[in-house]
Amino acid sequence: MARVFLSIGSNLGDRAKNIKKAISLLKQEGIKIERLAKIIQTKPVGGPQQPLFLNTALKAKTDLSPHKLLKKLKKIEKAMGRKPAVRFGPRVIDLDILLYNNLTFKTKTLTIPHPRMWQREFVLEPLRSLISSVRLRKLKKQICCSVK
């Protein structure tokens, strides 16, 4: 099974309830959640003016390939009412793959590690509670060097 780290965010409706529902749906899809980071409130980054977010991250195991996992995440987002809208706009739920094992790759539909996670404190803060800062720095250096 692959070890994955996912990011979860919500800034519409009952944000905490949305995150709990997303976690429940992930479990129903066979994703085995090992640890959940503390939920934090954050300001939106980019996009139009919008409400504050609640964000968290989780560590899980899955037997899904990266692309099949992405399809499951999009299915959950759609089931929860997320609709295509303005880039970086408000959303009921946002599910992103941050890391998948030690894979580093980029396709038309998926980049792992998540390409903007290093610039987003709302992703890094919860992730640091699941992965040590030292390991994250080593991972960033390794990935940045291998992607060039």
Q: Which residues are catalytic?
A: 82, 91, 94, 96
d(CA 103, CA 108): 16
Q: Taking a C-beta distance cutoff of 8 angstroms, is the pair 62, 103 a contact?
A: no
Which residues, in sequence order, are CB contacts of 130 under 8 Å at separation 6+? 5, 35, 37, 57, 58, 59
d(CA 22, CA 54): 13
List the structure tokens of 23: 């976690």
Q: Taking a C-beta distance cutoff of 8 angstroms, is the pair 122, 40 a contact?
A: yes
Cα 125–146–8 angle (5° rounding)? Answer: 30
